[in-house]
Structure 1
Amino acid sequence: MLIGGDFNNRAKQLLALLGALSDNNPDTSVSVEDLVDQLDLDRTELKNLLEYLEGRELIEIVSIGGPFLYGHIKITQKGILKAAKLK
């Protein structure tokens, strides 16, 4: 997987939106479908972004399944801090 400027920008957008949708609460699960609707991501790009963010411990994948491979995710405390720096 190639990580460049566009990919990094999309990861930041996803993390910021996840923070907003979860009200920066690490206990709140957010539907991946809600993220896709707002960010207009394709399945492959979404999978790569989620795996990248999970590898950096910024999100937690909560459920697997559905049209986008992953069903729900949570932002971690580390992700909340990172999202706050993006504002």
Structure 2
Amino acid sequence: MAEDDHERAEFLPATAYAVLGLLSSHQEELSPAEIKVRADWSLRSFYWSPAVSHIRRELERLLECGYVEARLRMSTSAGPRAAI
């Protein structure tokens, strides 16, 4: 991770940490929509559930920092998936 990435990582918003937690706790690749469903069920008592667009934005930030990888599914019905 480059120094700029490290500095950016120090200022990750709470939603980025929530997304990382959801990805790491399930140990599977998830699409932004699947992350949203998991957030609705697991975070609703502690934290607001972010919109899919917000999750996509945080995934882009996490991808830039090197915390997640993006993979494309062969199916056209679902978009890119994220994995730690």
- TM bucket, shorter chain: 0.5 to 0.7
- Of residues 5, 21, 25, the one that matches 1:20 is 25
Uncovered stretches (5+) of structure 1, i.e. residues with no partner: 23-27, 76-87
The structure with the larger Rg is 2
Judging by fraction of residues, say which structure has more strand.
Answer: 1
Q: Pairwise CA RMSD of aligned residues?
A: 2.6
Q: SS in structure 2 opposite 1:30?
A: coil
Give the Cα–Cα distance (whole angstroms) in 2 for the partners of residues 66 and 13 of structure 1.
25
Name the TM-score, length of structure 2 as normaliser: 0.59
Tell me the number of residue pairs that the alignment of Structure 1 and Structure 2 aligns.
63
Uncovered stretches (5+) of structure 2, i.e. residues with no partner: 1-7, 40-48
Name the TM-score, length of structure 1 as normaliser: 0.57
For residue 30 of structure 1, report the CA deviation from its aligned partner.
Answer: 2.5
Runs of at least 4 residues off by over 6 Å: none
